[in-house]
């Protein structure tokens, strides 16, 4: 199973700068370390986006990152090597922190990747910028096995029906070794649904499928905790040889 590292940057004072990290810096840093990171297959850079939707869950939330990086590996051991002190991920965190326009606080989390097929994954160039809806389940389920069994069985088939959806992934947390001194995020689960642009995301959120998803949400096994949703601009980097 593929694994993914989330590096989540939060602004100490989000009001000072909506985009405290330049996209060009993130792309340059990502390209720079790709040759130094065995097992790294692809990465995604997420920056905040405005989405013209009416979904109250997407409003600004205290846990919304001002930058989120995803690093995909085929092997957990190789990811752990990249996380060791003075390793590739240590260097990229230092570089971004030093170049940021405001103080950043980073968090790390390694998760298992569960991809799901969508009816039309094509469309725009897969390396072009897209719009992602990131969701985080930051609390705890009373019975995680019951939660995940219900969720994986019922919710992805509904999510895959959202009009215009290009990509759907669900992430579940893992125990892992890390030499990074930054705090660890502990989200029980994360989701990612990807669309071509903010307008496509807004159309999906306004579709009748959302009512069916809400109905299923109300049937979830017991869970307590916040579930922030936030739209992001996503830039893709595919490092696998072509």
pLDDT, one tens digit per residue, over 101-132 is 677 889 999 999 999 999 988 765 655 789 99
d(CA 111, CA 91): 21
- Rounded to 5 degrees, φ, ψ at 195 are -130, 170
pLDDT value at 12 more than 50: yes
d(CA 141, CA 7): 24
d(CA 155, CA 191): 11
Give pLDDT, residue 239. 56
Give pLDDT, residue 117. 96
Give pLDDT, residue 19. 56
What is the dihedral sign for C-alpha 127, 235, 2, 80?
Answer: positive
DSSP string, 170-201: EEEE--------SPBP--SEEEEEEESSHHHH
Confidence of residue 241 (pLDDT cuts 50, 70, 90): very low
- H or E element in which residue 45 lies: strand 40-48
Structural domains in the chain plus CATH codes:
3-238 (3.30.70.100)
Give pLDDT, residue 193. 97
pTM (2 d.p.): 0.89
Model confidence over 39-90: pLDDT tens digits?
899 899 999 887 555 454 444 445 578 889 999 999 999 999 999 988 888 8
Within 8 A by CB and 6+ apart from 139, the residues are 188, 223, 224, 225, 226, 227
């Amino acid at each position: 199973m593929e694994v993914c590292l989330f590096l989540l940057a939060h602004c100490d004072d989000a009001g000072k700068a909506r985009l405290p990290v330049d996209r060009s810096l993130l792309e340059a840093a990502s390209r720079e370390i790709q040759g130094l990171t065995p097992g790294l297959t692809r990465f995604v850079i997420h920056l905040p986006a405005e989405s013209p939707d009416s979904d109250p869950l997407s409003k600004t939330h205290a846990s919304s990152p001002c930058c989120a990086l995803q690093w995909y590996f085929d092997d957990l051991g190789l990811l752990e090597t990249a996380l060791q002190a003075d390793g590739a991920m240590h260097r990229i965190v230092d570089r971004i922190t030093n170049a940021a326009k405001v103080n950043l606080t980073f968090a790390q989390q390694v998760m298992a990747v569960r991809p799901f097929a969508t009816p039309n994954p094509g469309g725009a160039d897969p390396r072009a910028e897209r719009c992602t809806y990131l969701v985080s389940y930051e609390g705890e389920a009373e019975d995680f096995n019951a939660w995940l069994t219900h969720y994986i069985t019922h919710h992805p088939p509904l999510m895959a029906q959202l009009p215009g959806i290009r990509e759907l992934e669900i992430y579940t947390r893992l125990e892992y070794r890390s030499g990074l001194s930054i705090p660890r995020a502990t989200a029980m689960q994360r989701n990612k649904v990807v669309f071509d642009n903010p307008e496509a995301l807004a159309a999906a959120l306004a579709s009748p499928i959302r009512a069916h998803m809400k109905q299923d949400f109300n049937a979830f096994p017991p869970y307590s905790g916040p579930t922030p949703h936030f739209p992001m601009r996503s830039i893709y980097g595919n490092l696998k040889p072509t």
